[in-house]
């Protein structure tokens, strides 16, 4: 099968690669770009573990061909913040509200939440749940994830966010 040249901006860096037309975006990110934060959970667009932001919208990268994303802006969980930089409000919210357990779904949840808050900085609980309805978690009851997004909405990205445990004397 002949390859097609694609240019994508991934996490702020432009990349040009030759890919097979059938290569899924999640495979491109993991295998070509070596960005393994987007997980392959189902390959059927049911679990959301592969969620990334493509041109400002949360998409399941297991159902997008790399050639379909040609010329696009892709942000993965690795692109939200870098080593030595503070966590984003969404990442900090998941930490503060214990919105994760095993961590497998967490990158997808964080990306879907980030896309939601970029579009709607003050979502209702219903809007949060609707934005996350395509992301599955087998470990939590979802309320801590909703609380994490609500926390992030109340503490928008403006640098280092104070640690709640320190603020309340370490009591939860």
Tens digit of pLDDT for each residue in 93-113? Answer: 999 999 988 888 999 999 999
Start-to-end Cα distance in the chain: 57
What is the distance, to the nearest Å, from the Cα of residue 48 to the centroid of all Cα atoms in its chain?
9
The secondary structure element, H or E, covering residue 113 is helix 106-119
What is the distance, to the nearest Å, from the Cα of residue 127 to the centroid of all Cα atoms in its chain?
17
Tokens encoding 123: 């979502």
Burial 137-171 (b: 16+ CB within 10 A, else e): beebebebbbbbbbbbbebebeeebeebeeeeeee
Three-state DSSP at 115 gives: helix
Mean pLDDT confidence for 70-81: 96
pLDDT in the model for residue 157: 65
Q: Is the pLDDT score of 60 beyond 70?
A: yes
pLDDT in the model for residue 159: 44
Mean pLDDT confidence for 124-152: 93
pTM: 0.87
Please state, as a whole number, how many other Cβ atoms lie within 10 Å of the Cβ of residue 69: 23
Q: Is the pLDDT score of 9 beyond 70?
A: yes
Largest CA distance in the chain: 61
CA 35 – CA 76 distance, rounded (Å): 8
Question: Does residue 44 or residue 74 have the better pLDDT?
Answer: 74
Band (pLDDT 50/70/90 cuts) for residue 161 is very low
Task: Give the helix ranges, DSSP H, for 120-162.
Answer: 125-131, 143-154
pLDDT in the model for residue 101: 85
Question: Which of 111, 137, 117 lies closest to 54, judged by CA?
Answer: 111
């Amino acid at each position: 099968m002949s390859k097609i040249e694609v240019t994508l901006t991934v996490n702020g860096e432009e990349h040009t690669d030759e890919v097979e037309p059938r290569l899924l975006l999640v495979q491109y990110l993991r295998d070509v770009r070596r960005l393994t934060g987007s997980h392959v959970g189902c390959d059927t667009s049911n679990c959301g573990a592969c969620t990334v932001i493509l041109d400002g919208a949360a998409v399941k990268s297991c159902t997008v061909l790399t050639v379909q994303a040609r010329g696009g802006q892709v942000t993965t969980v690795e692109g939200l913040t870098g080593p030595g930089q503070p966590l984003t409000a969404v990442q900090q919210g998941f930490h503060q509200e214990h919105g994760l357990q095993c961590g497998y779904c967490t990158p997808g949840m964080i990306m879907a939440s980030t896309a939601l808050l970029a579009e709607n900085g003050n979502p209702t609980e219903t809007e949060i749940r609707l934005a996350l309805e395509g992301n599955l978690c087998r470990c939590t009851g979802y309320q801590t994830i909703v609380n994490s997004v609500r926390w992030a909405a109340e503490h928008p990205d403006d640098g280092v966010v104070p640690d709640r445990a320190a603020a309340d004397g370490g009591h939860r």
